[in-house]
Amino acid sequence: MKDSYLEIISLSKSFRDTRALSDINIKIPEKCLFGIIGPDGAGKTTLLRIITTLMLPDTGSVRIKDMDIIRNYKKVRSFTGYMPGRFSLYQDLTVEENLEFYATIFGTTLQKNYNLIRDVYSHIEPFKKRLTRNLSGGMKQKLALSCALIHNPELLVLDEPTTGVDAVSRDEFWGVLKRLRDNGMTIIVSTPYMNEAGLCDYVALMHDGRLIETDIPDRIVERFNKSLLAIKSDNINKLVNDLRGYSSDSSAYLFGHEVHYYQEKKFSITDIENYLKRKGHEKIEIKGVRANIEDCFITAIEDYGDIA
């Protein structure tokens, strides 16, 4: 990994009995698109709040450009843009008023930095006189991003900007993030959608307050050291259950219209096929496939042994 721009060192945080973050260590290079990937309860929001100096960790530290963020919180805030997971603009201001408000807080103006946000803002500019509460979900999201960008931050932190957003808008949103990255911004974005990992330069996979792995997505996938099969038949639900019963060390889970299967011990595809035929499956298709991030995630949390 290149020299890190932001370094998270042994970070832990608890809320009463709940351990939200356990000893997190992550290095984030400059000018990259960095994804924090994990389900609800993984600790993503807590991590981002600490990075943006909105919350103090119990132990550990975060350094940006080799500077401690707590001691330098004012400076960090001046060059950081943050888009929280919960929509938090003023609903009773118009689109334009919200933008002007954020610009003023950071000592700049909408006119001065218009170019920075044009890409995103142009979609909602026709509605600039509209009250924010009357915007659609997609428009609110674009306005929130515009507000986070208005002071030309060098670090942009986004908490689940694509959650609950349809596939088309998600795709557009990632396009915007890529262009910002290409213009030299460092971007940290969290998401519960595993398939968005591939859109990031680097990712950190998180679960239950712990860091599972952090690296370039392709390298994480390369480290998946099991031979993975994609299996189809005429009855996918029965197929999952039958495959789980094939061997004591079987792992089988739904994956789109197929079942992904691996086991620790060596196996023969012909044996599996014959077994499935005996179980009454038809139209059986078995092929080897390359793992993706979701496979890596599933394997990692299965190894944890703490599945509800």
Partner 1 sequence: MVDRKTIIKVNGLVKMYGNFTANDNLSFEVYKGEIFGFLGANGAGKTTAIRILCGLSYPTSGEIEVAGYDAYTQREKIKSNIGYMSQKFSLYEDLTVRENIRFYAGIYGLSDSEIRGKTDILIDKLDLKKAANKLVKDIPLGWKQKLAFSVAVFHDPKLVFLDEPTGGVDPITRRKFWELIYDTAKKGVTVFVTTHYMDEAEYCDRISVMSEGRIEALDTPANLKTKYSASNMDEVFLKIARN
Please check whether residue 259 is in contact with residue 231, taking contact to mean a CB–CB distance below 8 angstroms: yes
Residues 245-284 interacting with partner 1 (rule: CB under 8 A): 253-257
Cα radius of gyration rounded to whole Å, the chain = 23
Interface with partner 1 by CB under 8 A: which range of 40-48, 72-80, 105-113, 279-287? 40-48
Q: Which of 59, 167, 175, 218 binds partner 1 (CB under 8 A)?
A: 167
Are residues 21 and 209 in contact, defined by beta-carbon separation less than 8 angstroms?
yes
**Min separation Cβ 240 and partner 1, Å:** 7
Q: Smallest distance from the beta carbon of 139 to partner 1, in angstroms?
A: 10
Contact 112, 151 (CB under 8 A): no
Other CB atoms within a 10 A radius of the CB of residue 289 amount to: 15
Residue 184 or residue 305: which is nearer to partner 1 going by CB?
305
- CB-based burial, 268-279: b 16+ in 10 Å, e otherwise: eeeebbebbeeb
Window contacting partner 1 (CB under 8 A); options: 7-15, 93-101, 120-128, 168-176: 168-176
Number of residues that bind partner 1 (CB under 8 A): 37
CB of 301 to partner 1, least distance (A): 6
Nearer Cβ to partner 1, position 1 or 175?
Answer: 175
Distances (CA, A) of 249 to 24, 50, 124, 238: 31, 40, 53, 18
Q: Which residues bind partner 1 (CB under 8 A)?
A: 38-42, 136-138, 163-171, 192-195, 207, 236-237, 240, 253-257, 294, 297-298, 301-302, 307-308
